[in-house]
Amino acid sequence: MTYERQNISRLAPYTPGEQPKPGDRQTVKLNTNENPYPPGQAVVDALRSIDGETLRRYPPPTAAQCRQTIAQAHSLDPKQVIVTNGGDELLRLAITVFCQPRADNPSGAATGGLGIATPSYSLYEVLAAIHDTPLTSVPLLDNFELPDSFAGKLNDAGCRLAMVVNPHAPSGRLGPLDRLERIAQQFKGVLLIDEAYVDFATRDALPLLATDKGLKNVLLLRTLSKGYSLAGLRLGYGLGHPDLIAALDKARDSYNTDAVAQTLAIAALNNRQQAAQTWQAVTKERDRLTGALADRGYRVYPSQANFLLAQAPRPAKTIYESLKSKGVLVRYFDQDPLRDKLRITVGTPQQNDALLTALDSL
């Protein structure tokens, strides 16, 4: 006898990348796509300024100032912004608000669900399973581009929400904007474009939110975890049409983001140029590492993110394990079509050199 719902009993939970023990500064950690540089000085100063009184009170319930700052950063209206406990909360909220649980379909039809392209961020399917909403997976093309049939297949399956990550994880590919626009036009549900890595890319999908596009079903996900070196803070946000944002806002926890996160997010976004310096350093290293891996026989996919997907010249799993034994952590996914590849977060020049040295000594 178990107490949980059947879909939870059946659930294979999300497996996060390994985290070294607290205090371990030895491990070269290139496995969870964190920014290798510390957050900007403005963020650290804002953290120091937080006092006991700020913590005694509940945080601003609608995160008004934080939303104002985010809106301003993107030339949007605060009504087009929702702040969440990491980007992951926005993914969960979007399924809660836009997808239908199976049990609400008396006909037994598998409609009302989530549509994704595979492979991508594996949390998407876990969240669909938690909500017991139908999942439609469409395989990506060999170069990790979305197939032209994507929106049509999702419409046929009656999907109410699509999640597309751009730049794509785990390949780093930046898909063309006109393709996303076409999908948004064709798809009958909400198109969530997960831009977790967009700070490292040459362009974003914000133009799709322009009023003259008339697209009311586009929701962009952003996070401070990657570009702003604040994965430990847990702050993300959604950008979209005020009606979408209002629907999401109804379903979120009353105090979903805390006072510290709101204060530091404001400091981070008001001092964007401090983070932008790290984006430059990371993209420069990304290009160097791409070349260095190619020299060693790896096939590296062109990346606009802070990680590289590299097809290995020898069994990738063995390389992953050997690197781990040498104190270098990268990410290995034991599933097709990723089984012969490694996903490597771009680190500091020193970390990347340590990786290359370790590879040369295998």
Ligand X SMILES: *Cc1c(COP(=O)(O)O)cnc(C)c1O
> Using CB under 6 A as the criterion, which residues of the chain lie in contact with ligand X when the complex forms?
33, 86-88, 121, 165, 169, 194, 196, 223, 225-226, 231, 236
Answer whether 277's CB lies under 8 Å from 76's CB: no
CB of 227 to ligand X, least distance (A): 10
Q: For residue 122, what is the DSSP state?
A: T
Q: For residue 331, what is the DSSP state?
A: B
Q: Which two tokens stand for residue 117?
A: 């392209």
CB of 40 to ligand X, least distance (A): 18
Residue with tokens 């999300």: 14
CB of 167 to ligand X, least distance (A): 9
- The residue at minimum Cβ distance from ligand X is 86
CB of 108 to ligand X, least distance (A): 32
Answer whether 40's CB lies under 8 Å from 279's CB: no
Q: Is 24 exposed, middle or buried (0-12, 13-18, 19+ CB in 10 A)?
A: exposed
Of 110 and 126, CB closest to ligand X: 126
Of 136 and 257, CB closest to ligand X: 257
Q: Residue 280: how many CB atoms within 10 A of its CB?
A: 10
CB of 314 to ligand X, least distance (A): 27
Of 192 and 292, CB closest to ligand X: 192
CB of 41 to ligand X, least distance (A): 22
CB of 104 to ligand X, least distance (A): 27
Of 158 and 227, CB closest to ligand X: 227
Of 225 and 292, CB closest to ligand X: 225
- Characterize the bridge pairing of strands 81-84 and 190-194: unpaired
Dist. CA 306–CA 299, nearest whole Å: 17
Dist. CA 181–CA 183, nearest whole Å: 5
Instruction: Report H helices in the chain.
Output: 6-10, 41-48, 52-56, 64-73, 86-98, 123-131, 150-156, 177-186, 242-251, 259-270, 272-295, 316-325, 349-360
Nearest one of 198, 220, 221, 224 to 306, comparing CA atoms: 198
CA atoms within 13 A on the CB side of 188: 13
CB of 2 to ligand X, least distance (A): 29
Helix (H, G, I), strand (E, B) or coil at 66: helix
Dist. CA 290–CA 313, nearest whole Å: 15
